[in-house]
Amino acid sequence: MDDNKQLQYLVEKISKQFFEQPFKHKASFNRRLRTTGGRYLLTTHNLEFNPKMVKTADFVGIIKHELVHYHLHLNHQGYRHQDKDFKKLLIKVGGARYAPDIGKRQHAQHQWLYRCANGHRIIRKRKFPVARYRCGQCQSEIKFIGELSNK
């Protein structure tokens, strides 16, 4: 599945088959999604899906999950994960409770090393302006040393 037209057709087909209701809004891929399989947009009623999840076996389950949000919200029933209506319908249609982990979680890539005038080491995940801060142990000036190697 490469484009939004195929996705739209698949979502409409699954909606008819499992929910016996039409899907009247737009389904599309959103490449900015990292770890979520998809999302239902409350204001526009559109569905967005993670294109990285297409190749997983659970993609149809992810579509069903988002369609549960969609149909319950439009029928003014409990559409949130903790609602009984949501849990019951999700089990009935066989939707995925969670998106599978595809190994795309990002970990801290950098660690920055700073040293104060008295030699205290400060390791941070984010850079900061040294002119605005002092060492927390001795109140002396801080100097930026460089990136700490993760090896």
Residues assigned a catalytic role: 66
Alpha helices by DSSP H, listed for 52-145, are: 59-74, 84-93
Alpha helices by DSSP H, listed for the chain, are: 4-14, 59-74, 84-93
**Residue 112: in which H helix or E strand, if any?**
strand 112-116
130: nearest Cα among 121, 142, 147, 146: 142
Residues 13 and 11: their CA atoms lie apart, in Å, by: 5
Rg (CA), the chain: 24
